[in-house]
Chains A and B, each alone.
Chain A
């Protein structure tokens, strides 16, 4: 349908004409909405192509593509030098994603400073009353150690501060959203593209994490979304990566709440 409506942009999908095969993708959970949309468009116009998408987190993506288990491994952080060296990875950054602090919509606290955020996650600030909310304990939610979202949050929002060992650990962006949406006194962090009406974003040092602020660069807690391949991609995989960089692919990324690279 999009092909008929926006004829000029159909060109990106035409590149797949005559191709058959499978693309296996896994890795970062933040990338999944874009991957699914791209895969849906490609598979519906080219039924001979099969694309399978799995999650697992940035760590899983890098490991699996390095071991040859998948063709494309997504990560929400750039692979470390050791990882690149060990697996011979090629990285492709096709979008930028902000990571925003979120609380339950019923929570009156809408804004925090970096110092307050650091204290909350370190466990020294334990009551919402101390940051202007109701007299209730703060329930912390963080992500597992291999998460790209967690890494950028720790580096840029917490300035590498400690995260207390008593924080609850959830395994994905989706699980984080569910946890915070169900807990009136919870605080956590999600990819900005995942923020919807079920959670309320918290302004950090006066800047609210939205798509616009990330795009303009005023909201600094952001990371690149990477798709990694083992060695230079060829054939179908190369075309998929090109598709992500095409105007249509970038439009999908923007649609899903990320900022395109161009």
Chain B
């Protein structure tokens, strides 16, 4: 066999293997969650409250909690990340920007449990003090910490997006007398918006899937959250708390539905990223 064929076989089997693993995870959850569908419990589980004592295993409060915390965290992180990216790429590309870039690189490596731990001792009392009531364990606290978690990844993505704007556009604008900020607003941002939105969606995928921060900081109450100051439970935290239940119990079976929904969230996010990025590439 020629080297080409060998290389082709090795790489395509690697690709197939990764795809197969992802699909098998989906299949595993679908198969083990099938009893829910068979017993006609799907709608109840998606819309009811969580109250095992009253035979109600609804995960609607958890879905709401996940979306609240993820969106809020993203809302807090996005402007901050854009600002940092602009600083790194445009305002101070040498000196402070470079330092910030290295710090952000380093921050992406911090494990989430460290953030959760720091949050319990520093952020929770602060939130409690600021609002005067409540325990400090709420969706807001989790969203704040989540923003700190996803910001480094978003910043790096945004920086890359801004740096990929063709140099010729920028030199042309500079030749016409545009200041760096004008170049940013009129040339860089419009051209980079696909990568920017991809970064946003990717960060959403990460925010939705994070377990430790929500488990330690959001309070984990089973009630549907009505405000950001309410204690909330996310789908991953719910899985972590219920996994100790008996294998045959309906609580445990409901976990596979949780997993499926999380899978769908991240899948949608990934597909959205692919669509925005690739459609951009087709432009001349």
Contact = CB atoms under 8 A, between A and B. Distances in A.
Nearest to B137: A168
Contacts of A169: 219-222, 233, 241
Residue of A56, A164, A165 with most partner-chain B CB within 10 A:
A165
A166 interface: yes
A42 to B, nearest CB: 27
Contact of B223 (A63, A145, A166, A182): A166
Interface in A137-167: 137, 139, 141, 144-146, 162, 164-167
A183 B52 contact: no
B245 A171 contact: no
Interface string B129-162: 0000111110000000000000000000000000
Contacts of A137: 133-134
Given A169-B233, A170-B220, A183 B242 contact: no
Interface in B97-130: 120-121, 124-125, 128
A57 interface: yes
Contacts of A14: none
Contacts of A178: 120
Contacts of A139: 134-135
Contact of A145 (B120, B215, B242): B242
A53 to B, nearest CB: 16
A247 interface: no
Contacts of B134: 137, 139
Contact of B244 (A136, A146, A168, A186): A146
B50 A165 contact: yes
A170 B128 CA distance: 17
B124 A145 contact: no
Given A178-B120, A182-B124, A57 B221 contact: no
A178 B216 CA distance: 11
Contacts of B133: 136-137
A59 interface: yes
Nearest to A170: B220
B17 to A, nearest CB: 28
A166 B231 contact: yes
Interface string A177-204: 0110011011000000000000000000
Interface residues of A, number: 29
B125 A167 contact: no
A63 B128 contact: no
Nearest to B243: A60
A146 B245 contact: yes
Contact of A166 (B121, B221, B243, B247): B221
A83 interface: yes
Contacts of A185: 135
Contact of B221 (A58, A162, A168): A168
Nearest to B136: A183
A165 B241 contact: no
Contacts of B233: 169
Nearest to A168: B219
Contacts of B247: 63
Nearest to B124: A182
Contacts of B50: 165
B246 interface: yes
B135 A60 contact: no
Residue of A83, A166, A179, A185 with most partner-chain B CB within 10 A:
A166
Contacts of A167: 221, 231
B231 A171 contact: no
Contact of A59 (B128, B137, B246): B246
Contacts of B230: 166
A179 B124 CA distance: 10
B49 interface: yes
A169 B233 CA distance: 9
A171 B215 contact: yes
Contacts of B124: 182
Query: Which 5 interchain pairs have the tightest Cβ spacing?
Result: A139-B135, A59-B244, A146-B244, A165-B223, A169-B220
Given A146-B242, A168-B137, 12 more contacts: A63-B247, A137-B133, A137-B134, A166-B231, A168-B135, A168-B231, A169-B222, A170-B220, A171-B240, A171-B241, A179-B135, A183-B135
